[in-house]
Amino acid sequence: MSKLVRDFQALPDRIRATLATRGQGALAFVLALKTAFKPSATIPIIWFVVMRDAVFLCNTHRERGIWRTLKGSGGGLVRIATTSIGQLYIELGGYGEERSSYVTLADGTEPSDLDELMREIARARAAP
């Protein structure tokens, strides 16, 4: 069963509110995928949120709702990989002083969902 969210209104309220502060709303929304990744003990689980011209890694934290933004080709490598025990993750290559990040995915994430997510990430990053 697909874990992709295709309806902007189905996102958590705080994520929608955070995106609104960046001028992003339902008209620009493409899809989202909740991950299994928590960057720290104080930051909730990250969601990939693909908009028409950018990708936001969001969470439901009150003040720090956007963990990272991917826009344009200067944002580093983005690829799917698997750990030695079979756990899927997405590697977000660092750029400049930023280190690479490894975002683990929820168990049961469908390969077709990942394919679509990666296609849409590439399309959004290529947008003018």
- In a 3-state reduction of DSSP, which class is residue 58? strand
Average pLDDT over residues 113-122: 91
CATH of the domain at 45: 2.30.29
In total, how many domains does the chain have? 1
CA distances 23 to 15, 17, 78, 95, Å, are 13, 10, 24, 25
| Per-residue confidence (pLDDT) for residue 126, from 0 to 100 | 85
Report which residue type is found at 98. E
The label of the residue with tokens 């580093």 reads 76
pTM of the model: 0.87
Window from 30-34, 52-56, 75-79, 94-98 with minimum mean pLDDT: 94-98
Domain ranges, residue 85 = 4-126
